[in-house]
Amino acid sequence: MPKSLYLIGFLCLLLQACGATTDKAYELMLKGMYSDTVETITPTELQAATHQPNQPVLLDTRSEAEFLVSHLAGARLVAYESFDLSQLKDVPKNTPIVVYCSVGYRSEKIGEKLQEAGYTQVQNLYGGIFEWVNQGHPVFNRQGETDRVHAYSRAWGIWLRKGEKVYD
């Protein structure tokens, strides 16, 4: 992970320690991380979109280990570290796509690649799976609904306020 992300994480921890609320600190951290190159969709908007006839394809850009702990219902693993456009050869370029990761940084980078490849309806889940769970939306594993969420690392896990944090 780039050194700048560690610096942003440290600054946000410092803000939190100085009395800023987690929500405000999280929002500030996300603002510093996102390039705003991919349109975002909120967890509430995504929840509504998953009940529409033209549901988006959900792409989980986290690692396989993170995905196996839990993921959004119906999500496809495309893994940031090994992402290849051939994984989406069955997805037409005009299909609504929502990418997500833990907080939205890795998914934004994959979203940029999708846009460069000609995908026209790409959105990044604002705040990632952490914000999804923090707002009370469900996640799943192979056995069904679960409270477990891979928190990426102890430093990043501070942003996950609900669910059972899992670390490698």
Which are the contacts of 106, defined by CB distance < 8 A and separation ≥ 6? 61, 62, 80
- Mind listing the pLDDT tens digit for each residue in 31-55? 999 999 999 999 999 999 998 889 9
Fold assignment, 36-166: Oxidized Rhodanese; domain 1 (3.40.250)
Task: Please give the pLDDT value at position 63.
Answer: 97
- pLDDT value of position 22: 47
Residue range 122-160, pLDDT digits in tens: 999 999 999 999 999 999 999 999 999 999 999 999 999
Alpha helices in 50-160 (DSSP H): 64-69, 105-116, 128-134
Domain boundaries, the chain: 1-33, 36-166
